[in-house]
Structure formats: C-alpha cells, structure tokens
C-alpha cells in the first residue's frame, strides 16, 4: 500500500504538472486569440485526438497486459513485444495519415469547415505519427512501473508547446492565428517523440529493425485478439468525448464551442486524476488471482477515491473565481459547463478503478456494449439540448448518459467477480 501511494504521488505530480502546462497553453490561447481562432483550433485538435484512437487499436493496454506477465517469466519476450507493438503502431499511423490526405477536401472543408487552410491542417495531422510514438513509450514505462520516466515522456511536448507560445506572444508580440497554433503543436510533437525515442533506446537497448512480425506470430495474434474489443471501446470512448464539440459545430455556433472548450480545459485536472488512477491500478489489477488480492485492491480503490474527492469538492465551490482568474469575464458562460463536467467526473470516479477488472479478465465486449449505449444516449440528448442551451446542453447530455450507464458497468463488474473468483458478496 505504501509503495502504491508513493507511485500515485509521483504519477499525480507529473500528470498534474503536465495537465497544468496544457491548461496554461489553452488559457493563454483563450485570452490572446479571438473566439473564432480558439473555437477552430479546439475543433481541429479534438479531431486529431479522435484519429489518435485509431492508431492505438488497444495496443497500449494490450502491451501493458502481456508485458506485465512477461516481466515475471522472461524479459527477452518483453523486448520482442516492445519492438513488435511499436512497429504495428507506426504502420497504422502511416495508413491513417494516407487516408486523411486522400480525404482532405471532405475533412477540412466540409467537416472541420476551415477553408483555405488545407496545407497547414494536413501538415498538422502528421502529428499523428509522433504522438503515437510518445503514447506507446509512455505505456512502456508504465508497464515497467518506471513512473518518473513515464512522467518525463508525457511532459516534454506540452512544455515545448507552452515555451514556444510564450516566446511568440510575450516576447515577439506576434498576433495569434490558427496557422501559428497548428505549427506549434506539430513542432512540439516532433521534438517530444525524438527525445522519448532516444530515451527508450538508451534504457532498453533494442533495435526495432531486428524485430520481425512474421517471426513472432504468436505475440502478434495475442495482442490483436486482446486488443480488438479495446479498439472498439477506445473508438466509442473518444467519440463520446468528442461528440459534444462536433455537434455544437453543427447545431450551434463557434462561440458556444469556445465556451464549452474553455470549461473542458479548466477541468484539465480531471483526466489527470483519471490517468493517474488507471496508471497505478492497471498493473495491480492485472496480478489479481485470489480473493484476498481482490480485497486489497478494493480497499486501495476506495481509499484513492476518497482522497481524490476532497480537492474536487473544493474546486467546485470556487469554480466562478477560477474562471474569472484564468479566463476572464468573456468566458463567464463556461461556469455552468465547468460544474457539470465536474459532476460527470464524480459519477465516473466510482466506476473507473473497478472497470479495469473487466479488461483484466478479457470481458471488454461488455463495456463496449455499454459504451455504445452511452454514445447513442449522448447523441440523442445533444440533439435535444444543444439547440436550446448551447454549451450547457452539450455538457448536460454527457452527464445524463453517464447517470444511466455507469451503474451498468458496476453491475457487470459484480457479475464478473462472482464468476471468475467465486466472490459471493462484493
């Protein structure tokens, strides 16, 4: 328990620091740019994050799942698995990038609606490759429970991005435009991936070219089979998270996207806390084989949940002051959005640690079905609420879908524990 608490503190420190740098980046952008530039950049950025889901295909979690076992059996298998997964991710990223280039007119002009920006937007989308590499290297250090280096890998790109923005806006006094923001993002991704890749090679001393996919068919098959449901789950999860912005684009206006995005960015610490809990608990959950281990895991989860709820309650009380301090008067409409987002997270908080057990026992298909239901409810509620309430309606749509679906996930977890471990009472 003590070691896990120390690990959590390390992970939360880096996650909070990384999230705060990202928050500062978007805060400066919100203040320096007009609502149109801020709204357009967030729309394009959200679409990039959606594309990133397709580059993963559940590979990161699959790698952590199998690598945790391999480290106890044969570390050479771990190195082979590492090289295999990174090759697959780079290949998928390249294929996806080609598809984006082929469909650039539909994506840029019709969907994103940023006409006359084709060249720079397409250049921005090459970040897919670099971000995919960074995410896998981070997952590698997570599987080895080297959380300090994982934090450093995640910290590099946001740090570079913020420094460049401060230099251009504060020192050179350059006016912010969409092209500048996209280039900053691309440059930071390139530098971050280069640094992370060299750090990985130094620590593990492996040559990616020596790992042959055809010679490791068993590993490849295990990764793909385990990841197929995770792929659908990740796609659904990201669609749920991005649906609000895309539907605001269609059913409302760019100002409402800016208000909604501002509320999201101010709530930067929520995904930070989620990632911190998942980072710490996934390797622990992967080792559960007996009832007493499950009991310890549940106690750990409950303790961490209580620990997280305290600062969230304080932040909820001072939400108006935070928005005025960081974003200014023009984003007062984001206050209610911010409060709804926090309320949604509190509901999810009681589900996230226990839902990891579903992945461990390879029953991800049940979560996929629940997330599909969540997406359907989210889309329906967005169509009903956004035309009347704008950004607030989008946030309420997400909240309503979680209220319905989170209890379903917990119900599946209880049934699974009864079946796999013979637990009579949970």
pLDDT in the model for residue 239: 79
**pLDDT tens digits for range 367-414:** 888 888 989 999 999 999 999 889 999 999 999 998 988 888 888 888
pLDDT in the model for residue 379: 92
pLDDT at 211 over 60: no
Distance CA 55, CA 97 (A): 10
- Decide which of 3 and 346 is more confident: 346
pLDDT in the model for residue 116: 59
- Decide which of 4 and 63 is more confident: 63
pLDDT at 425 over 60: no
Q: Is 385 contained in some domain?
A: yes
For the ranges 116-125, 137-146, 226-235, the maximum mean pLDDT occurs at 137-146
* Least reliable range by pLDDT among 114-128, 144-158, 259-273, 311-325: 114-128
pLDDT at 287 over 80: no
Q: Is 57 contained in some domain?
A: yes
Q: Is 353 contained in some domain?
A: yes
pLDDT in the model for residue 3: 62
Single pTM value for the model = 0.66
- Decide which of 21 and 271 is more confident: 21
**pLDDT tens digits for range 216-241:** 566 666 666 666 677 777 778 777 87
Residue range 10-26: average pLDDT?
80
pLDDT in the model for residue 227: 64
pLDDT at 329 over 90: no
Q: Which two tokens stand for residue 38?
A: 């801020």
Domain that residue 408 falls in: 2-420
For the ranges 15-24, 208-217, 300-309, 341-350, the maximum mean pLDDT occurs at 341-350
% pLDDT > 90, the chain: 5
Residue range 250-265: average pLDDT?
83
Distance CA 282, CA 285 (A): 5
pLDDT in the model for residue 382: 92
Split at pLDDT 50, 70, 90, the class of 118 is low
- The rounded Cα 272 to chain-centroid distance in angstroms is 9
Q: Are 348 and 305 in contact (CB under 8 A)?
A: no
Q: Is 112 contained in some domain?
A: yes
Residue range 293-318: average pLDDT?
81
Q: Is 425 contained in some domain?
A: no
Q: Is 60 contained in some domain?
A: yes
**pLDDT tens digits for range 34-69:** 777 777 787 777 777 777 777 776 677 777 767 666
Q: Total domain count for the chain?
A: 1
pLDDT at 326 over 90: no
- Give 170's DSSP letter: I
Q: Is 426 contained in some domain?
A: no
pLDDT at 109 over 70: no
How far, in Å, are 44, 116, 236, 308, 335 from residue 318 at the CA level? Answer: 30, 42, 33, 17, 10
pLDDT in the model for residue 206: 64
> For residue 422, is it left (φ>0), alpha (ψ between -120 and 50) or beta?
left
Which residue, among 335, 313, 317, 336, has the nearest Cα to 326 in the 3D structure? 335
Q: Is 328 contained in some domain?
A: yes
């Amino acid at each position: 328990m003590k070691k896990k608490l120390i690990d959590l503190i390390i992970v939360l420190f880096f996650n909070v620091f990384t999230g705060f740098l990202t928050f500062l980046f978007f805060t400066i952008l919100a203040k320096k740019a007009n609502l149109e530039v801020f709204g357009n950049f967030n729309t394009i950025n959200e679409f990039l994050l959606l594309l990133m889901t397709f580059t993963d295909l559940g590979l990161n979690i699959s790698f952590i799942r199998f690598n945790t076992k391999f480290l106890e059996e044969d570390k050479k298998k771990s190195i082979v698995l590492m090289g295999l997964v990174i090759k697959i991710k780079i290949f998928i990223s390249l294929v996806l990038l080609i598809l984006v280039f082929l469909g650039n007119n539909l994506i840029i002009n019709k969907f994103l609606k940023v006409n006359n920006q084709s060249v720079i937007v397409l250049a921005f989308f090459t970040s897919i490759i670099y971000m995919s590499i960074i995410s896998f290297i981070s997952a590698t250090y997570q599987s080895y429970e080297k959380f300090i280096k994982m934090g450093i890998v995640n910290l590099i790109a946001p740090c570079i991005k913020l420094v460049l923005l401060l230099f251009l806006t504060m020192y050179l006094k350059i006016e912010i435009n969409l092209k500048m923001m996209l280039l900053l993002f691309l440059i930071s991704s390139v530098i971050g991936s280069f640094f992370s890749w060299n750090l990985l090679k130094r620590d593990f001393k492996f040559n990616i070219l020596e790992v042959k996919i055809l010679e490791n068919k068993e590993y490849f098959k295990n990764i793909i089979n385990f990841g197929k449901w995770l792929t659908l789950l990740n796609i659904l999860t990201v669609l749920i998270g991005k649906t609000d912005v895309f539907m605001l684009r269609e059913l409302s206006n760019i100002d409402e996207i800016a208000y909604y995005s501002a509320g999201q960015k101010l709530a930067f610490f929520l995904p930070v806390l989620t990632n911190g809990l998942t980072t710490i608990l996934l390797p622990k959950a992967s080792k559960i084989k007996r009832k007493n281990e499950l009991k310890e895991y549940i106690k750990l989860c409950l303790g961490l949940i209580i620990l997280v709820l305290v600062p969230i309650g304080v932040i909820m009380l001072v939400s108006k002051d935070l928005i005025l301090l960081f974003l200014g008067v023009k984003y007062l409409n984001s206050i209610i959005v911010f409060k709804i987002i926090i309320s949604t997270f509190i509901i999810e908080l009681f589900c996230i640690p226990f839902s990891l057990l579903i992945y461990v026992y390879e029953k991800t298909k049940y979560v996929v079905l629940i997330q599909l239901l969540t997406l359907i409810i989210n889309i329906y509620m967005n169509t009903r609420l956004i035309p009347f309430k704008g950004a607030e309606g989008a946030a309420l749509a997400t909240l309503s879908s979680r209220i319905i679906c989170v209890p379903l996930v917990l119900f599946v977890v209880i049934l699974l524990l009864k079946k796999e471990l013979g637990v009579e009472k949970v």
